[in-house]
Copies of this chain bind each other. A is one copy, B any other.
């Protein structure tokens, strides 16, 4: 937010200079207006936006943070709120009504026109996470039999109401999707041509019950401004626009980061400084407690071998390094595989190809790191007293070899787990979470101690 602009707005509000504020509202991007207004009391915001045309008022209102929206709505009577809701974009409208307290939703729904009511019912009927749940019903649909000239006047007529007029979707009498045409193509086309002649008929679309991430991926991959959403019979029911795709992509990435860090139920809409200590605590404690319990399992493994360890403390020294390196190599492999699954460059069909590649990569890593470790243990361990039959060579070999095997196991595990998660339609990033580190902590200790028993006979 531009601080100069903000202080100007502060002045205008303090001086009740509503005419200049009107100009600011009309001349700026609605989100800019919403950002600078959101710091004021709801009465003040309402006073400023109520002076605007209803379409603009609705746009600015929808760009306010959710908590501010609810405060402003709290100051409005039902009839004013009905007008506001009528002018909202269909997808924003559904989101707003979901957030509004139940006792206000009823009266407003009853006062809305039938068309809007049915539109709301339809849009809110799709399951969370589907393309249908994020689409808007504001799009331009044109019959293929129109001429370019007729299409142009239709678009001009519909423009004020539509969120996006840059793509028009071409349909038949059953609303079956036949093709699309961009406004750019329409502008360049001969006005007498039929839409059926100039439209693109090889069109990408997304099913209404498909994952919304799939819709975002299509928009990103094909550089689209919007993607049409179709039902089972290929009839168009809505569109998802590029700005919604960006939101979906950003949400997905921040969910991934949360999962990797072991954070649960983070509220994305509230800023860090506003989130309470308590809700911060709740989002973190579950995974941490879980991992403490997992740590107890690795503790039990150490306990089992504690006699041997007490006789050879040098083995204890390398326990943290072994666990850490396992965790790191496992999460590297899982990061690479998660990314490849995300971009679609591998699927579960490549299961064995992935294992084979990860095995070869881990072999190189294991040799490098195993030798590094051997050198360190052999040359820099100082004078150690060993039980009979054991010497610094056998100990160095044991530790180096344990690290090598740990790297191979952890890498392959890190590569396999995301693929298994994706088969069960679980977000693969969940395995990049602290769980992987805890698992390889345990496998690492088992490898280590069993190898020590085998080679050193302890």
Q: Known interface pairs A184-B159, A277-B357. Does A372 touch B313 (Cβ–Cβ under 8 Å)?
A: no
Q: Which of A232-263 contact B (CB under 8 A)?
A: 242-243, 245-247, 249-250, 253-254, 256-258, 260-263
Q: Which residues of B contact A298 (CB under 8 A)?
A: 320-321, 324
Contacts of A438 in B (CB 8 A): 324
Query: How many residues of chain A have a CB within 8 Å of chain B?
Result: 120
A360: Cβ under 8 A from any B Cβ: yes
Is residue A117 within 8 Å, beta carbon to beta carbon, of the partner chain? Answer: no
A173 near B: Cβ within 8 Å? no
Contact of A263 among B249, B296, B317, B336 (CB under 8 A): B336
A187–B159 CB distance below 8 A = yes
- In the complex, are the beta carbons of B327 and A437 less than 8 A apart? yes
Does A223 touch B at the CB level, under 8 Å?
yes
Evaluate contact between A27 and B201: CB separation under 8 angstroms.
yes
Whether a CB of chain B sits under 8 angstroms from the CB of A155 is yes
Return A299 CB to nearest CB of chain B, in Å.
4
Chain B contacts for A188, CB-based, 8 A: 156, 159-160
Are A200 and B369 also in contact (CB < 8 A) when A246-B245, A277-B361 are?
no
Least Cβ–Cβ distance between A284 and chain B, in angstroms: 5
Copies of this chain assembled into the complex: 2
Chain B, Cβ-Cβ closest to A278? B364
Please list 16 pairs of residues, one from A and one from B, whose beta carbons are closer than 8 Å in the complex, sorted by A's number: A24-B202, A220-B243, A223-B246, A242-B242, A260-B331, A261-B335, A272-B339, A273-B345, A281-B361, A284-B361, A295-B321, A302-B317, A302-B320, A306-B313, A316-B316, A324-B438
Chain A positions near chain B (C-beta within 8 angstroms): 24, 27-29, 31-32, 155-156, 159-160, 165-166, 179, 183-184, 187-188, 200-204, 219-225, 242-243, 245-247, 249-250, 253-254, 256-258, 260-263, 266, 271-273, 277-278, 280-281, 284-285, 287-289, 291-292, 294-296, 298-300, 302-303, 306-307, 309-310, 313-314, 316-325, 327-329, 331-332, 334-340, 343, 345-346, 350, 353-354, 357, 360-361, 364-365, 368-369, 372-373, 376, 403, 407, 432, 434, 437-438, 441, 445
